[in-house]
Amino acid sequence: MSNVAENSENLLTDWHQQAITLQKNINQTILGQEHIIDLMVVAIFCRGHILLEGDVGVGKTTLLRATAESLGGNFERIEGTIDLMPHDLVYYTHIANDGKPAVSEGPLLKHGENLSIFFFNEINRARPQVHSLLLRVMAERSVSAFNKTFFFPHLQVFADRNRIEKDETFELPAAARDRFMMELHIKQPTAEEQLKELMFNSRYYDADKLIDSADKAVLPFHQLNDIAVAIQSYIHSSDTIQDYGFHLCQALRKPQDYGIQISDIDTEKLVLGGMGPRGISYLARSARAHAWLNQRNSVTPEDFHAVIRAISKHRIFINPVYNYNGEAIIEELISGVLNTIPSP
């Protein structure tokens, strides 16, 4: 083994330990969301943006805050409201100490290149103009203001929305959803013990205190980009697994070509689009990161199985006639694909 390979293997082993620490730290704060936290850690090590969706009061915001605090770096948060405009993210005007009007940098620009997490709470309450600005920030990690371009190389966007309320909300456009690496659906814990713990343990009553009680900045956030590149180059993808990943994506786009049957659904007319180049690249990247987190140096079908729902569910656009039960149909489609495509 060459020195370079040995060094990168050692580096990845060290980082694996840190990733486990991060995972434990978040798990100590948030109860009963182990699978979601696993996926969030995968997204962090792929440098992908995350959108959380779930019922009211299941702990979406607390989970994102806990993750942001554990990651370290500069953290900014903004609440999505109907009157929020793009410039509110970039600057704000106020009366300065000298009594004169002044313009100051808004939450996006305040920390410059050191901005690590931008947390957008209730994203679907903001108008499409704001989504549009966010599209650029997420895709290019930059924004233009005051006649120059600001870059955020370490930025990761966390956003959440609740799925119950639909009044005065703006559905995220397909392009915006596609820029989120993962869309995670949070459900409340089902285990009796965990529910009793959440109900009677006073530790979980105050979210601020709960987050403060956990360790902060357990990772050197400014090294995450490099480690993400190292993971992608170190974890091996054999020809067999590449074939498998390719056919999974193809089957999600053209289920009829793979003989996938869904009851009462004409699969030929089901899928309108989705899993484009960005989606398939995210799938491969997250499969590699998942393999690394599970201490394997090559991707296996299990890695695809672990991440495929979080990566593909919000990227599959189905025929509007099936929208009445869209979520269940997409879920069935993904299960059908996983059960049908063999490997090898």
Q: Which of 109-141 are b and which e, b meaning 16 or more Cβ less than 10 Å from the residue's Cβ?
A: bebeeebbbbbbbbbbbbeeebbebbbebbeeb
**Which stretch in 25-33, 130-138, 300-308, 325-333 sits in contact with other proteins by CB under 8 A?**
300-308
State the DSSP string of 189-252.
---HHHHHHHHH-GGGT-HHHHHHHS----S-GGGHHHHHHHHHHHSB--HHHHHHHHHHHHHH
Looking only at residues 83 through 102 of this chain, which bind other proteins when binding is defined by CB under 8 A? none
Among 142, 201, 240, 325, binds other proteins (CB under 8 A): 240
Residue 261 touching other proteins (CB under 8 A): no
| CA 227 from centre of chain | 18
Per-residue binder mask for other proteins (CB under 8 A), 305-344, x = binder: x--------------------------------xxxxxxx
**Which stretch in 18-26, 67-75, 144-152, 301-309 sits in contact with other proteins by CB under 8 A?**
301-309
Per-residue binder mask for other proteins (CB under 8 A), 43-82, x = binder: ----------------------------------------
Among 140, 302, 327, 331, binds other proteins (CB under 8 A): 302
Long-range Cβ pairs for the range 5-9 (8 Å, 24+): 8/230, 8/233, 8/234, 9/234
Looking only at residues 219 through 238 of this chain, which bind other proteins when binding is defined by CB under 8 A? 236, 238
Q: Measured from the CB of residue 296, what is the shortest distance to other proteins in angstroms?
A: 8
The Cα 36–Cα 167 span in angstroms is 27
Please check whether residue 159 is in contact with residue 118, taking contact to mean a CB–CB distance below 8 angstroms.
no
Task: Extract the tokens encoding 269.
Answer: 């007319």
Among 48, 72, 189, 301, binds other proteins (CB under 8 A): 301
Q: Which of 55-70 are b and which e, b meaning 16 or more Cβ less than 10 Å from the residue's Cβ?
A: eeebbbbbbbbbbbbb
Q: Measured from the CB of residue 312, what is the shortest distance to other proteins in angstroms?
A: 17
Residue 262 touching other proteins (CB under 8 A): no
Q: Measured from the CB of residue 242, what is the shortest distance to other proteins in angstroms?
A: 10
Residue 300 touching other proteins (CB under 8 A): yes
Residue 241 touching other proteins (CB under 8 A): yes
The Cα 296–Cα 305 span in angstroms is 15
Please give the helix or strand (H or E) that residue 172 lies within, else none: none
Q: Which one, 72 or 245, has the nearer CB to other proteins? A: 245
Which residues form the interface with other proteins (CB under 8 A)?
A: 236, 238, 240-241, 296-302, 305, 338-344
